[in-house]
Amino acid sequence: MYTDLAIFSGRAHSALASAIAARIGQPLGRVDVFEFTNENIFVQFQENIRQRDVFLVQPFVSPVNTSIMELLIMIDAARRASAGRITAVIPYYAYGRSDKKDQPRVPISARLVANLLETAGADRILTMNLHAGQIQGFFNVPVDELNALYPVSAYFQTQRLENYIVVATDVGGEKRARDLAVRLDVPLAIIDKRRVGNNEVAEAMHVIGDVDGKNCLIVDDEILTAGTIVSAVKALRAEGAQELIVTCYHPVFGGPAWDRLASLNAREIVVTDSVPMAPEKVPSNMTILPVAPQFGDAIARIHSGQSVGALFQ
Ligand code: R5P
C-alpha cells in the first residue's frame, strides 16, 4: 500500500516535470542527481518517500543512454527507500524502433529496456505514443500509454485547414494518420516508404491516395533526421501536392533535422514538448503543444485509482 503522491524529475527534461507537477498542484520533490568524475550517476532522495506513491519523470532523450541509466538508478534508490509504489513516467520511450528481430543477429532493445525497468523495481509505466503499441506487451507491469493525438487534433480543429489531406509517412503509421484524419474529417493518403540499410536513409516509393492539388498534413510519431519527411515531401510534390504542414509527436531532431525542416517551406511544423528543445533553435513556423496536462491528469487518476482511459472518452 502507498500513501500520498510524490513526483520527482531526473535531469532529462525538468521543465516538463515541473509543468506536470504544476498541473497536479504540488511541487516537485527534492532529489539530488549528479555524475561523479568517472561518469557514475549518483541519486539521493532528499525527503522521506517511505510508503509514498512515487512518480519519476524522465523521457529517454539525449544523452539517451544516460537518461535511461539515470532513471534505472532513481528507481533502485526509490525501491531501497521503501517507496510504496513506483511509476516510471517516460514521455518519450527511446529504442522503440528496435521492437522486432527483422534482420539476423540483431537485438530487440525495446524489450531489453522494458526488462531493465522492471528489474530496477518499476511497478507501473506511464508513457506516450510508443513507436508500436505492442511494446506495451514487453512489460509485465501495467502500462498506460497516452496519445498525443488528442492535443494535436484539438489544435488543428482550431485552425483553418482548407482542402487538406492527412498523409502517413509509411504504412506502419496508417492507423495514427487515420485517427487524425477522422478527427479532422479529411481524407487520408499513405506513403509507401522503404528504409535502405541501417544508415538512417528513408526512401518514399509511392503515394497511395490522390494528393494532386491538395494541401498535405503529414503526420509521424517521431522525427529524427527528418529524412523520412524530406523524402515524403518530395514524393508528394511530385504528385502535385500544394501547401504543407508537418506534425510529429516526438521531436527528437538530431543531425541534419533542423536544416532539413527549414528547407521544406512548410506552413507550420507542429510538435509536442515530450522532448526538450533549445528555445533559440525553434523556428518561427513551429508550434509546440504541451503534454503536461495529459500527464498530470493521468498521474492524478493513477494515484486515486480512477480510469486513465476515461481521459480519452
Ligand atoms: C519510423 O518508422 C518512424 O515512424 C519515423 O518515420 C522515423 O523514426 C523518422 O526518422 P527520420 O526522421 O530519421 O527519418
Q: Is the CB of 144 under 6 A from ligand 1?
A: no
- pLDDT for 159-193, tens place per residue? 999 999 999 999 999 999 999 999 999 999 999 98
57 contacts 8 by C-beta, under 8 angstroms:
yes
Q: Quick one: 75 exposed, middle or buried, by C-beta within 10 A (0-12, 13-18, 19+)? A: buried
Q: Ligand 1 centroid vs 78 CA: distance in angstroms?
A: 34
At 187, list the grid cell.
481524407
Whether 313 has a pLDDT exceeding 90, the answer reads no
pLDDT level of residue 198 (50, 70, 90 thresholds)? confident
Q: Which atom of ligand 1 is found nearest the CA of 228?
A: 14
| pTM over 0.85, yes/no | yes
Q: Which of 100, 175, 193, 281 is catalytic?
A: 193
Q: Which residue has the cell 487538406?
A: 164
Q: Could you tell me if 37 and 18 are in contact, meaning their C-beta atoms sit under 8 angstroms apart?
A: no
5-147+292-312 topology per CATH: Rossmann fold (3.40.50)
The arithmetic mean of pLDDT across residues 79-100, rounded, is: 98
Fold match between domain 5-147+292-312 and domain 149-289: yes
For domain 149-289, the CATH architecture is: 3-Layer(aba) Sandwich (3.40)
Long-range contacts of 76-82 (CB under 8 A, 24+ apart): 76/43, 76/120, 76/121, 77/43, 77/44, 77/45, 78/45, 78/49, 78/54, 78/121, 79/120, 79/121, 81/45, 81/49, 81/50, 82/49, 82/50, 82/51
Q: What is the pLDDT of residues 132-141, one digit of tens each?
A: 999 999 999 9
Taking the domains of the chain in order of start, what are their residue ranges? 5-147+292-312, 149-289
247 pLDDT more than 80: yes
Q: Is the pLDDT of residue 202 over 80?
A: no
User: pLDDT digits over 73-82, tens only?
Assistant: 999 999 999 9
Cα of 51 from ligand 1 centre, angstroms:
41
* pLDDT tens readout for residues 43-78: 999 999 999 999 999 999 999 999 999 999 999 999
The CB of 225 under 6 Å from ligand 1? The reply is: yes
**226 CA: nearest ligand 1 atom:** 12
**% the chain with pLDDT above 70:** 98
Residue 272 pLDDT exceeds 70: yes
* Mean pLDDT, residues 152-158 taken together: 98
Mean pLDDT of 216-239: 96
* Pairwise CA distance, residues 36 & 190, whole Å: 48
